[in-house]
Structure 1
Amino acid sequence: MRPALRLLMASAMPSVNGMNPGPMALLPPIYLYRRLLRAHRKHLPAEERLLGDEFVKAEFRAHRDVENPVHLIGFLTEWQLYAQKVEGDSWAGEKLDKGKIAKMSDEQLGQLYELMKAIQKRGTEGHESESS
């Protein structure tokens, strides 16, 4: 990653309604990647961890060569917010923001649908093994 992008990532994010105690600097990609895998290891059950780890690895690989700083900042911001939620156990049962869904591309919506199907499939497999 170029030094200019590192400086851009370290820039402060605005506070929301003045409730945020201070600006949140974005973590560099490798530190954020490690934090996500560590959060999965500590806070997720084994099946969810496997699914989550594979998804994180695939997304970071797919965005390895992103040059647009706006895309990079958005990518890192969303993953950092996700890491905070997993670490705080506040993610369970949370619904996706309609504004974020509206901004997704067709490819992203397709990935989201595939993820939903994979989760549903694992859920039905779990129920079948319990009733046997």
Structure 2
Amino acid sequence: MRVTYSQLASPATAPLRPGQRSPPLALLPPIPLYRRLLRTHRKKLGPEQRIFGDTYLKAEFKRHKDIDNPLHIVGFLTKWQEYGQKLEGDSWKGETLDKSTVDKMSDQQLGQLYELMQAIQRRGKESADEELEGRSEKLK
């Protein structure tokens, strides 16, 4: 079979339609993935979000350092790599958890998610209070 220039110029994969996700990249090893996520946090997140994100990221990788089950390792790395891809593409803003993900969570995970929600709400109230105090001081 003879290869033509038009065949060489055509894309190897079909073009993506609007709203369609790109195929997942090859799974990165833990250390390069960890470094990539920290770099992404530095580039994409604000100072407060970055502190929270870096702390959580470091704790999770430390907690899973001694896992021997290959299925858990692949699942862990896959989810973190998906997170990194979303963060790099800004598709995470305003996104909600789908019901199937919440249904798969353990009671402990749901408790952590609830605590996170409460912490975010408290921080939002504190920010709003600080903003109101700043405005009232300017009016004086």
Place the TM-score, normalised by the shorter chain, in its bin: 0.7 to 0.9
1:24 deviates by 2.4
| Percent identity of paired positions between Structure 1 and Structure 2 | 61
Q: 1:26-67, CA deviations, whole angstroms, 9 ceiling, x for partnerless residues?
A: 111111111111111100111111111111111111111111
SS at match of 1:82: helix
Using the alignment, how far apart are the partners of 2:123 and 2:30 within structure 1? 30
What is the deviation of 1:74?
0.9
Instruction: Calculate the TM-score normalised by the size of structure 2.
Output: 0.76
Name the residue aligned to 1:93. Answer: 94
Distance 1:21 1:112, change over 3 A: closer
Distance 1:21 1:56, change over 3 A: closer
Partner of 2:27: 26
Q: Structure 1 stretch 97-106 or stretch 45-54: which is displaced more?
A: 97-106
1:45 aligned residue: 46
Distance 1:90 1:22, change over 3 A: closer
Corresponding letter in the other structure for 1:46: P
Cα RMSD over matched residues? 1.5
Secondary structure at the counterpart of residue 95 of structure 2? coil
- 1:65 counterpart letter in structure 2: D
Separation in 1, partners of 2:28, 2:79: 11
Which residue identity is paired with 2:104? K
Using the alignment, how far apart are the partners of 2:87 and 2:24 within structure 1? 20
Query: Do structure 1's residue 108 and structure 2's residue 109 form an aligned pair?
Result: yes
Deviation at 1:22, TM superposition (A): 5.4
Q: Which runs of 5+ in 2 are unaligned?
A: 1-19, 134-140
Deviation of 1:95 after TM superposition, in Å, equals 0.4
The number of residue pairs the alignment matches comes to: 114
RCO higher in 1 or 2 (8 Å CA, sep ≥ 6)?
2
Match of 1:131 in 2: 132
* Counterpart residue type for residue 128 of structure 2: H
The amino acid of 1:39's aligned partner reads T
4+ residue runs of structure 1 moved beyond 3 angstroms?
19-23
Where structure 1 has 5 or more consecutive residues not aligned to the other structure, the ranges are 1-18
State which structure, 1 or 2, has the greater radius of gyration over its C-alpha atoms. 2
Taking structure 1 as the reference length, the TM-score comes to 0.80
Distance 1:33 1:67 in 2: 18
Residue type of the alignment partner of 2:77: L
